[in-house]
């Protein structure tokens, strides 16, 4: 009898894992929408990897740590960079249609905070789409894909504390049980907790909230990265403008044509994302509009076809050479605490990709390291699982019992107001006053109690509301606790980095509350299951 693996999510980390698992496993991939509804598929930017003679591993490591403000597990960064180069080379050799120069060599781009051209692209600005399509074509016969089912609860044995599978809610409201020997969360981040975001609307951190509810530790919830350049029209964010555009020579200017980044950072428009997003935010709040001046880029529509299409669909005139932009939530550096293989603090449960706090991104992810992380950790977890001795442990068992949440409470949750308040109080710039206001607002709606209740009787939309409020509460608590500015976490009342906070991680543990720890898991090695 084959062992069962259940993977939640269908992005790059999930598919890379599924591709590399041995045929001894029956693999079920569950996604709450369509297979291609993921941030990975939408990714315009490329994959950062050491692929040229001019580049070195140590350069990529230094760029990663510098951009992330030294909040990393440096050993994991080194492993990511070294393994990443081999993984990307393997991907190209397997047929990924990478962009190439006229001489046939890889056409490697430059993005913010990188000191070397090392970004591999496909289709100009459609790398994620091409990688996802490539991986889907490599899936084996033992992999089945289930769409339009929301995973809402991990089944946890009341006797052993082990995760034995997952419950889902179907489109017609039925509940299904999927028992598994190993359950993997690869559901991505939580960018759609904010009104301005590059993320798909369904990316709300449901996998992260589920893991927390099951007892898994979370870390670094305060570190939400805001991308500096989202297209802005009609009061809404219309889509991402890749950092590669600035890498090709585009410049940020205000409505008067003055360079926004002049004198702010030595790298100017290619400064780390948190620096650029902060400056744009300040400029907009001073009453000025901000534009991306693309007039120096030749053949823009050919080089960036996806961005050009979004502009046309949004009524933005590319030929003016000025693209209106605004910062928006983009990537989540925190998430579920994992070790080097993706094992969480709960037996039988794993996490990879953006949902995981792996220690490789620090306080501010380096551009194009996200797809790299998914590829590396997906393959690494597959190798770990393939090496395990066969052990069929998944199956029906007595679960931890919880009372049902009052449906009326869930129905009354207002996500439009939530997003607005998150942007205002836990967005690009934060303060004690704003965060305390937000915390009180969330607590008044019961967000600090939701994890004690079962959700199976709720509608899909109500479950998602609960997850959104839970994650927002955890972000707010962490942001309030970290009294410094570091990377994507910027406090107006604590504007500088603090040596006392160097290397300190804020850990959410369901039964322990919010605790501090130096290292994600190094100080508690036994907490990661064997």
Q: Categorize the per-residue pLDDT at 35 as very low, low, confident or very high, splitting at 50, 70 and 90.
A: confident
State the pLDDT at residue 39.
81
For residues 529 and 470, what is the distance between their CA atoms, to the nearest angstrom?
25
Conformation bin of residue 20: beta by default, left when phi > 0, alpha when psi is -120 to 50: alpha
Average pLDDT over the chain reads 94
Read off the pLDDT of each residue in 196-210 and give the average, rounded to a whole number. 95
Comparing 31-40, 215-224, 347-356, the range with the smallest average pLDDT is 31-40
Read off the pLDDT of each residue in 374-397 and give the average, rounded to a whole number. 86
| Angle at 443 (CA atoms; ends 441, 448), nearest 5 degrees | 145
Integer angstrom CA distances of residue 516 from 214, 263, 426, 505? 20, 36, 20, 6
Q: Give yes or no for a contact between 490 and 468, defined as CB atoms under 8 angstroms apart.
A: no
Read off the pLDDT of each residue in 264-269 and give the average, rounded to a whole number. 94
Q: Categorize the per-residue pLDDT at 526 as very low, low, confident or very high, splitting at 50, 70 and 90.
A: very low
State the pLDDT at residue 376.
98
Q: Categorize the per-residue pLDDT at 44 as very low, low, confident or very high, splitting at 50, 70 and 90.
A: confident
Q: How many CB atoms lie within 10 A of CB 160?
A: 12
Any catalytic annotation for residue 101? no
Tokens representing residue 159 in the block: 């006797």
State the pLDDT at residue 520.
82
pLDDT value at 448 more than 80: yes
Residue 497: which of 274, 328, 283, 337 has the closest Cα? 274
pLDDT in tens, 103-155: 999 999 999 899 999 999 999 999 999 999 999 999 999 999 999 999 999 99
For residues 165 and 185, what is the distance between their CA atoms, to the nearest angstrom?
11
Q: Give yes or no for a contact between 69 and 486, defined as CB atoms under 8 angstroms apart.
A: yes
Q: Give yes or no for a contact between 212 and 473, defined as CB atoms under 8 angstroms apart.
A: no
pLDDT value at 326 more than 70: yes
Read off the pLDDT of each residue in 348-372 and give the average, rounded to a whole number. 97
State the pLDDT at residue 59.
98
Question: Which is the catalytic residue, given 213, 273, 343, 445?
Answer: 273
pLDDT value at 372 more than 60: yes
Which parts of 234-367 are beta strand (E)?
A: 236-240, 251-254, 290-293, 322-332, 335-337, 349-351, 356-357
Read off the pLDDT of each residue in 416-429 and give the average, rounded to a whole number. 97
Read off the pLDDT of each residue in 475-484 and give the average, rounded to a whole number. 98
pLDDT value at 527 more than 60: no
pLDDT value at 529 more than 70: no
pLDDT value at 482 more than 50: yes
Polymer length of the chain: 530
pLDDT value at 235 more than 50: yes
Q: Categorize the per-residue pLDDT at 446 as very low, low, confident or very high, splitting at 50, 70 and 90.
A: very high
Q: Categorize the per-residue pLDDT at 393 as very low, low, confident or very high, splitting at 50, 70 and 90.
A: low
For residues 425 and 422, what is the distance between their CA atoms, to the nearest angstrom?
5
- What percentage of the chain has pLDDT greater than the value 70? 97
pLDDT value at 260 more than 90: yes
For residues 342 and 353, what is the distance between their CA atoms, to the nearest angstrom?
9
Q: Categorize the per-residue pLDDT at 525 as very low, low, confident or very high, splitting at 50, 70 and 90.
A: very low
Strand bridging mode 25-30 / 143-146: parallel
Residues 6+ apart with CB under 8 A from 70: 362, 502, 503
pTM of the full predicted structure? 0.94
> Residue 515: beta bridge partners?
507
State the pLDDT at residue 129.
95
Q: Categorize the per-residue pLDDT at 400 as very low, low, confident or very high, splitting at 50, 70 and 90.
A: confident
Q: Give yes or no for a contact between 379 and 22, defined as CB atoms under 8 angstroms apart.
A: no
Residue 284: which of 253, 317, 321 has the closest Cα? 253
Read off the pLDDT of each residue in 459-478 and give the average, rounded to a whole number. 98
Q: Give yes or no for a contact between 458 and 450, defined as CB atoms under 8 angstroms apart.
A: no
State the pLDDT at residue 362.
97
- Classify domain 229-327 by CATH number: 3.90.700.10
Q: Categorize the per-residue pLDDT at 233 as very low, low, confident or very high, splitting at 50, 70 and 90.
A: very high
- What percentage of the chain has pLDDT greater than the value 90? 89
CA dihedral over 232, 278, 219, 385, signed as positive or negative? positive
pLDDT value at 521 more than 80: no
State the pLDDT at residue 524.
43
Which parts of 135-248 are beta strand (E)?
A: 143-146, 149-156, 163-170, 175-179, 182-185, 218-219, 224-233, 236-240
For residue 277, with 0-12 CB atoms within 10 Å meaning exposed, 13-18 middle and 19 or more buried, which class applies?
buried
């Amino acid at each position: 009898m084959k062992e069962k693996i259940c993977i939640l999510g269908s992005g790059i980390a999930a598919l890379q894992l599924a591709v590399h698992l041995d045929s001894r496993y029956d693999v079920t991939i569950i996604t709450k929408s369509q297979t291609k509804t993921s941030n990975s598929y939408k990714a315009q930017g490329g994959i950062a990897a050491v692929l040229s003679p001019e580049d070195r591993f140590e350069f990529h490591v230094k760029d990663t740590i510098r951009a992330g403000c030294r909040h990393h597990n440096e050993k994991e960064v080194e492993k990511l960079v070294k393994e990443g180069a081999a993984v990307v080379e393997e991907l190209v050799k397997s047929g990924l249609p990478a962009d190439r120069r006229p001489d046939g060599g890889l056409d490697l781009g430059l993005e913010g905070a990188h000191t070397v051209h090392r970004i591999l692209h496909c289709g100009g600005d459609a790398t994620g789409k091409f990688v996802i399509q490539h991986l889907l074509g490599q899936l084996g016969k033992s992999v089945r894909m289930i769409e339009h089912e929301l995973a809402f609860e991990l089944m946890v044995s009341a006797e052993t504390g082990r995760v034995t599978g997952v419950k889902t809610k179907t489109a017609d409201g039925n509940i299904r049980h999927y028992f598994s020997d190993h359950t993997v969360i690869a559901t991505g981040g939580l960018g759609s907790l904010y009104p301005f975001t590059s993320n798909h609307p369904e990316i709300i951190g449901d996998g992260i909230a589920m893991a927390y509810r099951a007892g898994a530790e979370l870390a670094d919830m305060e570190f939400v990265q805001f991308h500096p350049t989202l297209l802005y029209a009609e009061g809404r964010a219309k889509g991402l403008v890749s950092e590669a555009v600035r890498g090709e020579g585009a410049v940020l200017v205000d409505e008067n044509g003055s360079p926004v980044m002049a004198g702010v950072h030595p790298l100017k428009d290619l400064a780390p994302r948190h620096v650029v997003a902060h400056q744009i935010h300040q400029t907009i709040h001073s009453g000025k509009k901000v534009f991306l001046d693309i007039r120096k880029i030749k053949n823009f529509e050919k080089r960036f076809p996806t961005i050009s299409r979004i502009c046309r669909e949004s009524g933005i005139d590319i030929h003016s050479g000025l693209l209106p932009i605004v910062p928006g939530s983009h990537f989540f550096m925190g998430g579920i605490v994992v070790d080097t293989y993706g094992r969480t603090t709960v037996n039988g449960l794993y996490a990879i990709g953006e949902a995981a706090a792996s220690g490789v991104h620090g306080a501010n992810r380096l551009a194009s390291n996200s797809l790299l992380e998914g590829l590396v950790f997906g393959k690494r977890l597959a190798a770990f699982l393939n090496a395990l001795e066969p052990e069929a442990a998944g199956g029906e068992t007595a679960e931890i019992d919880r009372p049902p949440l009052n449906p009326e409470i869930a129905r009354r949750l207002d996500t439009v107001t939530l997003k607005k308040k998150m942007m205002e109080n836990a967005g690009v710039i934060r303060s004690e006053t704003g965060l305390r206001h937000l915390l009180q607002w969330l607590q008044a709606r019961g967000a600090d109690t939701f994890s004690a209740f079962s959700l199976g009787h709720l509608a899909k939309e109500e479950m998602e509301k609960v997850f959104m409020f839970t994650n927002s509460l955890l972000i707010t608590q962490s942001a309030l606790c970290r009294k410094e500015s570091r990377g994507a976490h910027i406090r107006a009342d604590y504007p500088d980095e603090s040596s006392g906070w160097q290397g300190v991680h804020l850990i959410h543990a369901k039964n322990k509350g919010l605790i501090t720890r130096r290292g994600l898991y190094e100080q508690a090695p036994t907490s990661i299951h064997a």
